[in-house]
Structure 1
Amino acid sequence: MAATDHSRSEAAKQRRQDQLQRWLGSETDRTRSEARELSSGSGTRRAKVRFAQGAVFMAACSAGDREEVAVLLRQGADINHANIDGLTALHQACIDENAEMVQFLVESGSDVNRGDNEGWTPLHAAASCGFIQIAKYLIEHGAHVGAVNSEGELPLDVATEDAMERLLKGEIKKQGQDFLLFPLIFETLVGISITIS
């Protein structure tokens, strides 16, 4: 990897770490408790805390509790619920290298191409973390290798492992000429240059 590619990868990893750090203080941590209710006739107050269904769903996914996740989905939880940073449960499962949860979520209908607030798809997350098996699975289930984040980066651009780069470059080659036209179209529309080596 060239020096500029390395520094770009390091910058992408740092931005991702910053985003994940912000997540720690997001919806799950900041969910307010409901107003306190007075107990009937006693004059004492009881605190009652309720978490939004999306926060409960995300927590169950992060814990790897497929049974609880299935129950929540049957109760109407949104499989593509996103936290304040736009991370879905599928993004988080990719970041956590939880291949079983990734598979469960995808098979249950999670959007493999949904971007977070910075345009990172689950494939961007898997690529930046170097999780080859998860990236392969996502690609096999429709993840776009040509997805571009808000910095104009493809999953290939944020890949830090040689094996991941080979996988993504191979997939780009498989998709043929049409994919190679994408950077030219993107540059024309957005003004950001993308290079595929």
Structure 2
Amino acid sequence: MKFYESPTTQSMGIKTYAQSCGVQVACRTAAPLKPVRSVHFPNDIVFQDYVKHGELERIGRFIRARRVELDTIYTSGMAAIHEAVLSGNLECVKLLIRYGADVHQRDEEGWTPLHMACSDGFPHIARYLLSLGADPELENDCGEKPADLIEPDNKELLELFGLGAND
């Protein structure tokens, strides 16, 4: 049903005009607001997300509050140190190690952080891990050493491991 608005209703407003004609006008009130539902994620999931995004301040707070264990293997199959290496964030890797993350921590397939740094082409992280004593001879579950995972075109990593173009 279409309502025609006369000059009278336009100047007075429909509600005021209806009331002046003796029509009962009920005000429509907004429905009561439903309570806001919040979602709470487990600490490990939140922490893993902070590591992936390199949120150093929050990572530090979580660790200091003992809300996480650094050797926890997440559903991704990796620990926080592996996630940090895969993000390519050296500062995050340094922070985790400063708080006790193990440079030899293995993921569910036996990969160390050094395996991941080599596989994903992060020479700056590999150099740092090696400076802390990361063992380049450790093999993953497939029998691969970190140097076995270096792409042939990553000259910086090849040089770091003493591998020439002809090796």
TM over 0.5: yes
Q: Secondary structure at the match of 1:135?
A: helix
Contact 2:53/2:87 (8 A) holds in 1: no
Q: Distance in 1 between matches of 2:70 and 2:77?
A: 13
Secondary structure in 2 matching 1:81: coil
Inter-partner Cα distance in structure 1 for 2:95 and 2:35:
42
Aligned counterparts of 1:45 and 1:163: Cα–Cα separation in 2: 56
The separation in 2 between residues aligned to 1:85 and 1:117, in whole angstroms, is: 9
| Equivalent residue runs for 1:70-89 within 5 Å | 70-76=60-66, 77-89=68-80
1:49 aligns with 2:42: no
Give the share of equivalent positions with the same residue, in percent: 33
User: How many angstroms apart in 2 are the aligned matches of 1:67 and 1:163?
Assistant: 31
8 Å Cα contact 1:156-1:169 kept in structure 2: no
Letter in 2 for 1:66: L
* Whole-angstrom distance in 1 between the partners of 2:35 and 2:132: 51
CA deviation string 1:131-150 (max 9, x = no partner): 11100101111211011111
For the residue of structure 2 that corresponds to 1:70, the secondary structure is helix
Could you say which residue in structure 2 is the equivalent of 1:162? Answer: 155
User: Gaps spanning 5+ residues in structure 1: where?
Assistant: 1-43, 171-196
Instruction: Give the counterpart of 1:64 among 41, 54, 65.
Output: 54
The code of the aligned residue for 1:166 comes to E
Q: Secondary structure in 1 aligned to 2:161?
A: helix
Shift of 1:88: 1.5
Give the structure with higher Rg (CA).
Answer: 2
Query: Over aligned residues, Cα RMSD in angstroms?
Result: 1.9
| TM-score, normalised via structure 2 length | 0.69
- Would you say how many aligned residue pairs link Structure 1 and Structure 2? 128
Give 3-state SS (helix, strand or coil) of 1:133's partner: helix
- Residue segments in structure 2 that go unaligned for 5+ positions in a row: 1-33
Identify, as 1 or 2, the structure richer in helix.
1
Normalization by structure 1: what TM-score? 0.59
